[in-house]
């Protein structure tokens, strides 16, 4: 039996940044690492080619009467920059106390390794376990899974034999409280490019004559929120699902501390959707964020130019039942309508993803036609978490996005049990990403119990 | 006698970017090139150390009764980036038709070489020329001449024996029409830094909770202009000098073509100070420009962060009688007052420079106490330009800044005759900077005649 921490270190060392064409070797290394590990556990591993990064499709078959779980994960990671803000090397895993640091430690290499280890131990203890398992590990999650839907369609028949999807790519509030994620926000991303004069100009010779594209971009972006914090795009909130009372109740049980959260963020004032607490706003309300902006001279000292171009990278987080394509369209239309004279605006489309919601059994709004195996898996999860962590999980929607969860539902009809493992301090998508090895240990035991219970039926 | 074009090529090859610490060798090379050239003409060359880049102080003495002209220039250049937009190598001078391309070709290496060549030829023809000449060539013009005022103060007594300053570091509208610059805009530059959360955050997990510093910066910047094009900072226009009727008349004589100018800029609409034509606005009105902006992720693809920081580089072009220190203070105060909650704003001060105006003899507002040698120099310039170019020069204020002209006036009392040489298409401070060799040829002849006339008294 392998040591999961040593395996995780090996996994992190592969620089698998899917959006960076310079990381080809790291992507291949990470894929081969996962494929060979699953192969060593007796899985039949298929490496499914895509236009970009292959998908690992690894199966443990069995009697068609056995339950069938699909375990999802991804081997790609976010870019590591700005590198100068890392306290330990981004791709050299470093253990400090009970935490391991490195890009991808939490998103998603640590949690994926947790679930692979649980399966390995379960099969070691009971090689005849009556459970069909399919690992589905992709390499394009951090770029919006552009190849995943095509894969789902082509593998639809083989996936439809499954009962539910199980994954750990969501968060929990602290080391004591497990959360099963009952919803995810969707995404709509694009870049805005503003062009003014045909070339950069001397701001002395030509200043006072034309509109500066940075100024125009700032004027456009400044209109996209109300002073109170709502997204100021007509139609943006159309169709947003009301929050169900049991959801607010779960959040109350969470007992999150606003003062501590402010301190964690390093801010003195929240800026939320009006009428929602910060914890409600980040789970139940959509956003429009500017993820990056650039234009003109950004170097040392000064350069007195009026630049030709400026751009911003925009992402919207969406909630049920916002439709990403419609949101992109109305935000782009709004930007176009608010573009001042003297500059041109253009868009570069990026990826998108649907929002998702799943209601666990026993809630007043649980769908009547919920799959019995899914309901059983939820109950097994409840029991396993209570046994290992000493208290039952909470069922909460969260602010992050795993767009493929909605894709899986749409294409195959499968719902997902999302067993959260990473902490707020794990710094996902940011410098000094880390993952708790204590949580990994408990996570392995929990997943083992859940899968054993599902197998037992 | 040297070939001025070959000498200019040699000069351009020295990568003398004063703001870039990687260009130390280029700065030294350019300085030694000018020093040795002036030495070869019989000048006594002093290389005056400063905190950064030395000032070349080269003198041809003579009888105290002889007129004394100070010829100013600078050997430093702007940064060359973005390099990918250059059609020829930035630091390998390339002649295409009658134009030479390379960083610094027009600003200021070509014009300075024009005046050095004129002096060389004049002294070759008449070694006993009754004219004292001081070359004053600095290496910090493109960074705002931070050492120049200290130098002026320490060399005040030696400079006060001069009658006027002569320089070519301003522009002309086309190859036919010379302009003697009668005024320059001043400068006030600083950077704004906006900080939100203490680190970059995942926009899914934390989006909807706090103000994004890019959004805050955009909201601040968007308030700094009115939709009509005025700078929207209380007190910004206080003290701005009215335009004198003869100045508007000179501009009318220029007969500039708005449609052609739009085409040159590549814009479809002007955006000027209300009540001023574009040509008036760029000469007689102040500006506030955003020269650069940056924050968050600017790379390939997407990175869904809420960044911790964003910044903008701001420069104001000022006109008589705006005071740069006051303008900086009120713009910073306005930005601070308009900073929304949840973010912090900080400033990094950059350089500044006073605006300048000089009124040639014979204009209704010529000062009564104007120096007779200055008045004679203006008349000599008028005659030389008329003879060489076939039409008299126009006297126009221009939008660019040579802050040391106002410093010289303040410290030594000397006014400047600014003989413009570069064209709109010379792309100063931008990729594909170039300079006309035809203008260089005529410029050499003109400067020769002016200095000969001044010497003749």
What is the full per-residue pLDDT of chain B (457 aa) written as tens digits? 899 999 999 999 999 999 999 999 999 999 999 999 999 999 999 999 999 999 999 999 999 999 999 999 999 999 999 899 999 999 999 999 999 999 999 999 999 999 999 999 999 999 999 999 999 999 999 987 889 999 999 999 999 999 999 999 988 989 999 999 999 999 999 999 999 999 999 999 899 999 999 999 999 999 999 999 999 999 999 999 999 999 999 999 988 899 999 999 999 999 999 999 999 999 999 999 999 999 999 998 999 999 999 999 999 999 999 999 999 999 999 999 999 999 999 999 998 999 999 999 999 889 988 999 999 999 999 999 999 999 999 999 989 888 889 999 999 999 999 999 999 899 998 999 999 999 999 999 999 999 999 999 8
Strand partners, A77: A17
Chain B residues within an 8 Å CB radius of A313: 296-298, 302-303
Of the candidates A261, A290, A303, the beta carbon closest to that of B215 is on A290
What's the token pair of residue B196? Answer: 């939100």
pLDDT at B317: 98
* End-to-end Cα separation, chain B, in angstroms: 27
Residue B3: is it exposed, middle or buried by C-beta count within 10 angstroms (0-12/13-18/19+)?
exposed
> Are A267 and B197 in contact (CB < 8 Å)?
yes
- Going through B358-447 in order, the beta strands assigned E by DSSP cover 394-398, 416-419, 434-436
The Cβ of residue A420 has, within 10 Å, a number of other Cβ atoms equal to: 25
Residue of B nearest to A190 (CA): B302
Residues A330 and A325: their CA atoms lie apart, in Å, by 9
Longest dimension (CA), chain A: 81
- What ipTM was reported for this prediction? 0.83
Task: Sketch the domain layout of chain B as residue ranges.
Answer: 4-184+357-456, 186-240+286-353
Say which residue the tokens 């795993």 belong to. Answer: A402
For residue B82, whether the previous peptide bond is cis, meaning omega lies within 30 degrees of 0, is yes
pLDDT in tens, B63-78: 999 999 999 999 999 9
> Are B79 and A198 in contact (CB < 8 Å)?
no
Do A4-184+356-456 and A186-240+286-353 share a fold?
A: no
Residues A212 and A267: their CA atoms lie apart, in Å, by 32
Closest CA to A399 of B256, B325, B202: B202
Probe site for chain B from A82, A171, A198, A207 (most B CB atoms < 10 A)? A207
Longest dimension (CA), chain B: 81
> Are A204 and B431 in contact (CB < 8 Å)?
no
Residues 6+ apart with CB under 8 A from A305: A200, A201, A202, A203, A296, A297, B291, B292, B429, B430
Residues A179 and A434: their CA atoms lie apart, in Å, by 19
Strand partners, B10: none
Strand partners, A293: A312, B295
> Are A307 and B291 in contact (CB < 8 Å)?
yes
pLDDT at B368: 87
What's the token pair of residue A231? Answer: 């997204």
Strand partners, A357: A183
Closest CA to A136 of A399, A351, A414: A414
Q: With DSSP H G I counted as helix, E B as strand and the rest as coil, what are the percentages for chain A, rounded to 5? A: 35, 25, 40
What's the token pair of residue B398? Answer: 């221009």
Is residue A217 within 8 Å of residue B289, measured between CB atoms? no
For B186-240+286-353, CATH gives: 3.30.70.360
The CATH architecture annotation of domain A4-184+356-456 reads 3-Layer(aba) Sandwich (3.40)
Probe site for chain B from A293, A317, A344 (most B CB atoms < 10 A)? A293
Of the candidates B81, B271, B302, the beta carbon closest to that of A313 is on B302
Probe site for chain B from A107, A142, A205 (most B CB atoms < 10 A)? A205
Give me the torsion for CA of B156, B162, B163, B167, rounded to 10°: -90
Q: Structure pTM?
A: 0.83
Return the CATH superfamily for domain B4-184+357-456.
Answer: Zn peptidases (3.40.630.10)
Write the Ramachandran bin of A185: left for phi over 0, alpha for psi from -120 to 50, otherwise beta.
Answer: beta
Residues 6+ apart with CB under 8 A from B441: none
Q: How close, in Å, is residue A76 to chain B by CA atoms? A: 13
Strand partners, A309: A195
Residues A94 and B97: their CA atoms lie apart, in Å, by 61
> Are B304 and A291 in contact (CB < 8 Å)?
yes
Residue of B nearest to A309 (CA): B292
pLDDT at A368: 87
Give me the torsion for CA of B114, B118, B120, B123, rounded to 10°: -170
What's the token pair of residue B334? Answer: 């306005």
pLDDT at A144: 80
Residue of B nearest to A185 (CA): B204
> Are B203 and A317 in contact (CB < 8 Å)?
yes
Strand partners, A68: A132
Of the candidates A219, A341, A431, the beta carbon closest to that of B269 is on A341
* End-to-end Cα separation, chain A, in angstroms: 27
> Are B291 and A303 in contact (CB < 8 Å)?
yes
| pLDDT tens-digit profile, chain A (457 residues) | 899 999 999 999 999 999 999 999 999 999 999 999 999 999 999 999 999 999 999 999 999 999 999 999 999 999 999 899 999 999 999 999 999 999 999 999 999 999 999 999 999 999 999 999 999 999 999 988 889 999 999 999 999 999 999 999 988 989 999 999 999 999 999 999 999 999 999 999 899 999 999 999 999 999 999 999 999 999 999 999 999 999 999 999 988 899 999 999 999 999 999 999 999 999 999 999 999 999 999 998 999 999 999 999 999 999 999 999 999 999 999 999 999 999 999 999 998 999 999 999 999 889 988 999 999 999 999 999 999 999 999 999 989 888 889 999 999 999 999 999 999 899 998 999 999 999 999 999 999 999 999 999 8
Q: With DSSP H G I counted as helix, E B as strand and the rest as coil, what are the percentages for chain B, rounded to 5? A: 35, 25, 40
Of the candidates B206, B311, B351, the beta carbon closest to that of A282 is on B206
Please report how many Cα atoms fall inside a 13 Å half-sphere around the Cα of residue B44, on the Cβ side: 6
Closest CA to B303 of B199, B215, B203, B210: B203
State residue B16 phi and psi, 5-degree precision: -95, 65
Chain A residues within an 8 Å CB radius of B298: 292-294, 311, 313
Chain A residues within an 8 Å CB radius of B225: 215
State residue B203 phi and psi, 5-degree precision: -75, -10
Of the candidates B207, B273, B400, the beta carbon closest to that of A289 is on B207
Residue of B nearest to A268 (CA): B342
Chain B residues within an 8 Å CB radius of A292: 214, 295-298, 303, 305, 307
> Are A300 and B200 in contact (CB < 8 Å)?
no
Q: How close, in Å, is residue B298 to chain A by CA atoms? A: 6
> Are B431 and A199 in contact (CB < 8 Å)?
yes
Strands A416-419 and A164-167: parallel
Residues A219 and A235: their CA atoms lie apart, in Å, by 21
Q: How close, in Å, is residue B381 to chain A by CA atoms? A: 23
The CA–CA distances, whole Å, from A108 to A64, A93, A181, B101, B162 equal 30, 14, 16, 52, 74
pLDDT at B173: 85
Give me the torsion for CA of A282, A283, A286, A287, rounded to 10°: 20
Sheet hosting strand B186-195, strand order edge to edge: A344-353, A186-195, A309-318, A287-296, B287-296, B309-318, B186-195, B344-353
Say which residue the tokens 């739009």 belong to. Answer: B262
Element (H, E) at B195: strand B186-195
What's the token pair of residue B102? Answer: 């390379």
pLDDT at B255: 86
Q: Is the dihedral of CA B257, B260, B264, B265 positive or negative?
A: positive
Is residue A58 within 8 Å of residue A52, measured between CB atoms? no
Residue of B nearest to A230 (CA): B208
Probe site for chain B from A304, A335, A342, A423 (most B CB atoms < 10 A)? A304
Residues B169 and B106: their CA atoms lie apart, in Å, by 8
Count interface pairs A-B at CB distance under 8 A.
350
Chain B residues within an 8 Å CB radius of A401: 204, 304
Output the DSSP codes for A55-110.
Answer: EEEEEE---TTS-EEEEEEE--B-----GGG-SS-TTS-EEETTEEESTTIIIIIH
Is residue B320 within 8 Å of residue A335, measured between CB atoms? no
In eight-state DSSP terms, residue B425 is: G
Chain B residues within an 8 Å CB radius of A185: 204
């Amino acid at each position: 039996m392998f040591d999961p921490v040593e395996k995780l270190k090996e996994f992190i060392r592969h620089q698998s940044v899917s959006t960076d064409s310079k990381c080809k070797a790291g992507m291949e290394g990470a894929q081969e690492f996962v494929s060979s590990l699953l192969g060593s556990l007796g899985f039949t591993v298929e490496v499914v080619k895509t236009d970009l990064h292959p998908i690992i499709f690894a199966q443990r078959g069995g009697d068609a009467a056995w339950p069938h779980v699909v375990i999802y994960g991804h081997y790609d990671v976010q870019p590591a920059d700005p590198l100068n803000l890392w306290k330990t090397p981004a791709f050299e895993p470093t253990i400090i106390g009970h935490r391991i640091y490195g890009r991808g430690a939490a998103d998603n290499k640590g949690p994926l390794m947790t679930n692979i280890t649980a399966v390995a131990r379960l099969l070691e203890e009971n090689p005849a376990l009556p459970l069909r398992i399919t690992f589905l590990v992709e390499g394009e999650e951090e770029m919006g899974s552009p190849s995943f839907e095509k894969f789902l369609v082509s593998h639809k028949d083989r996936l439809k034999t499954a009962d539910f999807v199980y994954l750990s790519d969501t968060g929990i509030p602290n080391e004591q409280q497990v959360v099963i994620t009952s919803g995810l926000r969707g995404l709509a991303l694009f870049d805005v490019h503003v062009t003014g004069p045909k070339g950069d100009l001397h701001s002395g010779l030509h200043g006072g004559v034309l509109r500066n594209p940075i100024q125009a971009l700032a004027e456009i972006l400044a209109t996209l929120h109300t002073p109170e914090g709502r997204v100021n795009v007509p139609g943006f909130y159309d169709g947003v699902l009301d929050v169900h009372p049991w959801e607010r109740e779960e959040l109350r049980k969470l007992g999150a501390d606003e003062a501590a959260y402010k301190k964690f963020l390093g801010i003195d004032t929240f800026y939320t959707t009006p009428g929602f607490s910060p914890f409600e706003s980040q789970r139940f309300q959509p956003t429009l964020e500017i993820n990056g902006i650039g234009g003109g001279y950004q170097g040392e000292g000064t350069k007195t130019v009026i630049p030709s171009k400026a751009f911003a990278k925009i992402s919207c987080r969406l909630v049920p039942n916002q439709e990403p394509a419609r949101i992109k369209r109305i935000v782009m239309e709004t930007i176009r309508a608010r573009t001042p004279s003297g500059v041109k605006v253009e868009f570069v489309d990026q990826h998108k993803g649907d929002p998702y919601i799943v209601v666990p059994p026993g809630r007043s709004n649980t769908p009547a036609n919920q799959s019995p195996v899914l309901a059983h898996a939820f109950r097994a999860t409840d029991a396993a978490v209570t046994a290992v962590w000493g208290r039952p999980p909470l069922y909460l929607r969260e602010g992050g996005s795993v767009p493929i969860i909605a894709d899986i539902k749409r294409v195959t009809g499968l719902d997902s049990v999302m067993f959260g493992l990473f902490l707020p301090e794990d710094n996902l998508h940011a410098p000094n990403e880390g993952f708790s090895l204590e949580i990994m240990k408990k996570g392995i035991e929990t997943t083992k119990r859940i899968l054993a219970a599902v197998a037992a039926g």
